[in-house]
């Protein structure tokens, strides 16, 4: 089959890296281990998927779509080490040449990288590197990282080079660097994005979330700590250094992004969500008949809300499991109806009842408006919306695709007016303090809630 034309835009400054999944594997069964890992991290990115393996030579496969689509009929790739990447889709126009992982050959041999996060001084670094004579083939910040590392490593050797690179790279990055047959797990000093190290029966795995280690029946060894770099080589691993600094774990991983069965920086995500629901119940109780989650993201929190209040929990909304992929309905009216294809109410659970509707967060608010309508249409006598995180009011520059302040419903509106807009009888968000307590660690990033950033950001 003839391949599709590929579009490219290597124009500097266009952001292409949003929340993603990374995998590194060293040992036997590299290809199938990376495939399994990427499939278990598919929720972190569905736009494109890619794998690079090394066995003296380099092998690369990338494609648009889910892991299972891209690698469906692919021949297994040979390798003693390898890295993999799932990219998050924000729009369909992003070209394959911006898809991870990246690999180059240079005087050091073959160097590949897979990265989750966002380099905030990407633009400055790119210009500097160009000034130094480096060249770029894409507009991806991952390529800037890669070349920055190549530059420093060429000058200072691997360990010192990685350190110097990290000192120059600002922003969020949880990455795996592959230098020939060695892997380096690299996490920025704030620890925005998660990264863990595990062991399977036939090798070492580095992954964005523990659920990838579980998928291989492996065991988690440790978190890659903020600022830490771990080398995996020759069937062993060692920390080669750890930069110090204030820690700032993304609260949104706990609230929404991560899988509920993952453990992130020692916190069980599911339990954190249950606690968010409990805490929310304490902060904003309500007299009602049943607690109903917005599936799937509100389920753990609704269980917590129910537990804390004693109001029975039930499933009152059904999510159509086949509506994930974008499909444009052919006319305007049917487009409006499309939300009903995605979600439907179980009338018998809702009719004539006072409903507490629990979800994780509200970004734009459109969806919540329709969900409230669906619940009302199903006969609810009251609809109380409870959101298990605080209002989002500022952009994220650390790898989550929330950039434009104007999009956030909470940016310029009072809670009262949001309540009216979505048509709820009452609306409450979790407080920032409540969130911190529920997660159980203090050193979390809350910049998108406060607009205060732990470090320079490219505000324009």
Ligand X SMILES: Nc1ncnc2c1ncn2[C@@H]1O[C@H](COP(=O)(O)OP(=O)(O)O)[C@@H](O)[C@H]1O
Q: Which residues are annotated binding-site positions? A: 250, 297, 359-360, 396, 445, 448
What minimum distance in Å lies between the beta carbon of 250 and ligand X? 13
Residue 43 is given by DSSP the state: G
In three-state secondary structure terms, 223 is strand
Q: Which of 16, 20, 147, 449 is catalytic?
A: 20
| DSSP letters spanning 360-410 | S--SSSHHHHHHHHHHHHTT-SEEEEEESSPPP-S---SSSS---GGG-TT
Partner touching 136 among a second copy, ligand SF4, ligand X, none, CB below 5 to 8 Å by kind: a second copy
Q: Retrieve residue 42's tokens.
A: 């598919």
* Choice from 46, 200, 297, 314 touching Mg ion (CB under 5 A): 297
Tell me, by CB under 6 A, how many residues bind ligand SF4. 11
162 binds ligand SF4, rule: CB under 6 A: no
- Determine the Cα–Cα distance for residues 68 and 65; give it in Å rounded to an integer: 8
Which residue ranges are tagged as binding site for [4Fe-4S] cluster?
250, 396, 445, 448
341 binds a second copy, rule: CB under 8 A: yes
Nearer to Mg ion, 284 or 297 (CB): 297
* Choice from 376, 447, 455, 457 touching ligand SF4 (CB under 6 A): 447
Hey, how many other C-beta atoms are within 10 angstroms of the C-beta on 47? 18
43 binds ligand X, rule: CB under 6 A: yes
* Choice from 297, 301, 306, 447 touching ligand X (CB under 6 A): 297
Contact region with ligand X (CB under 6 A), list: 2-10, 125-133, 176-184, 317-325: 317-325
CB under 8 Å to 343, separation ≥6 — which residues?
A: 295, 317, 318, 319, 320, 370, 371, 374
Q: Retrieve residue 239's tokens.
A: 């920390």
| DSSP letters spanning 52-111 | EEESSSEEEEEEES-HHHHTTTPPPPP-SEEEEEEE--S-TT--GGG-S-EEEEETTEEE
Contact region with ligand SF4 (CB under 6 A), list: 103-111, 141-149, 246-254, 406-414: 246-254
Residues β-bridged to residue 62: 50
Which residue ranges are tagged as binding site for Mg(2+)?
297, 359-360
361 binds Mg ion, rule: CB under 5 A: no
Site for a second copy in 267-326 (CB under 8 A): 268, 270-271, 296, 299-300, 303, 307, 312-315, 318, 320-325
What minimum distance in Å lies between the beta carbon of 445 and ligand SF4? 3
In three-state secondary structure terms, 260 is coil
Contact region with Mg ion (CB under 5 A), list: 54-62, 214-222, 284-292, 297-305: 297-305
33 binds a second copy, rule: CB under 8 A: yes
Phi, psi of 339 (to 5 degrees): -60, -30
Catalytic machinery residues:
20
| Interface contacts to ligand SF4, rule CB under 6 A | 192, 250-252, 396, 398, 400, 445-448
């Amino acid at each position: 089959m003839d391949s599709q034309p590929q579009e490219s835009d290597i124009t500097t400054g266009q952001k292409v890296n949003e929340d993603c999944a990374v995998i590194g594997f060293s040992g036997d069964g590299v290809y199938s281990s990376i495939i399994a890992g990427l499939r278990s991290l598919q929720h972190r990115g569905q736009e494109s998927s890619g794998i690079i393996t090394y066995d003296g030579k380099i092998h690369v496969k990338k494609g648009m779509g889910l892991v299972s689509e891209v690698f469906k009929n692919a021949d297994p790739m040979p390798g003693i080490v390898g890295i993999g990447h799932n990219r998050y889709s924000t729009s369909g126009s992003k070209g394959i040449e911006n898809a991870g992982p990246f690999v180059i050959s240079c005087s050091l041999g073959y160097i590949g990288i897979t990265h989750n996060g966002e380099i905030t001084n990407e633009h400055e670094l790119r210009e500097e590197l160009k000034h130094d004579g480096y060249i770029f083939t894409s507009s991806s910040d991952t390529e800037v990282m890669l070349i920055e590392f190549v530059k420093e490593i060429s000058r200072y050797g691997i360990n010192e080079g990685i350190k110097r690179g990290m000192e120059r790279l600002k922003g969020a990055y949880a990455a795996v660097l592959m230098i020939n047959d060695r892997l380096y797990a690299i996490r920025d000093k704030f620890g925005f994005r998660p990264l863990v190290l595990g062991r399977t029966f036939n090798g070492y795995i580095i992954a964005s979330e523990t659920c990838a280690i579980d998928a291989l029946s492996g065991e988690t060894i440790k978190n890659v700590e903020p600022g830490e770099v771990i080398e995996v080589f020759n069937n062993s691993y060692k920390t080669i250094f750890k930069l110090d600094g204030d820690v700032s774990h993304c609260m949104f991983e706990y609230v929404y992004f991560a899988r509920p069965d993952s453990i992130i920086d020692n916190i069980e995500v599911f339990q954190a969500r249950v606690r968010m629901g409990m805490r929310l119940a304490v902060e904003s109780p309500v007299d009602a008949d049943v607690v109903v989650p917005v599936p799937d993201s509100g389920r753990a929190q609704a269980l917590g809300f129910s537990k804390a209040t004693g109001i029975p929990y039930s499933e009152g909304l059904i999510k159509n499991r086949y509506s994930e992929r974008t499909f444009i309905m052919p006319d305007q009216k049917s487009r409006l109806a499309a939300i009903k294809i995605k979600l439907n109410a179980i009338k018998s659970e809702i009719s004539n009842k006072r409903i507490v509707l629990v979800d994780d967060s509200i970004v734009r608010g459109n969806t919540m408006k329709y969900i409230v309508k669906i619940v009302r249409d199903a006969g609810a006598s009251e609809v109380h919306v409870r959101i298990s995180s605080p209002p989002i009011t500022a952009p994220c520059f650390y790898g989550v695709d929330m950039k434009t302040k104007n999009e956030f419903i909470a940016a310029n509106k009072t809670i009262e007016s949001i309540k009216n807009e979505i048509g709820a009888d009452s609306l409450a968000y979790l407080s920032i303090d409540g969130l911190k307590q529920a997660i159980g660690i203090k050193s979390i990033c809350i910049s998108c809630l406060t607009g205060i950033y732990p470090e320079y950001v490219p505000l324009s």
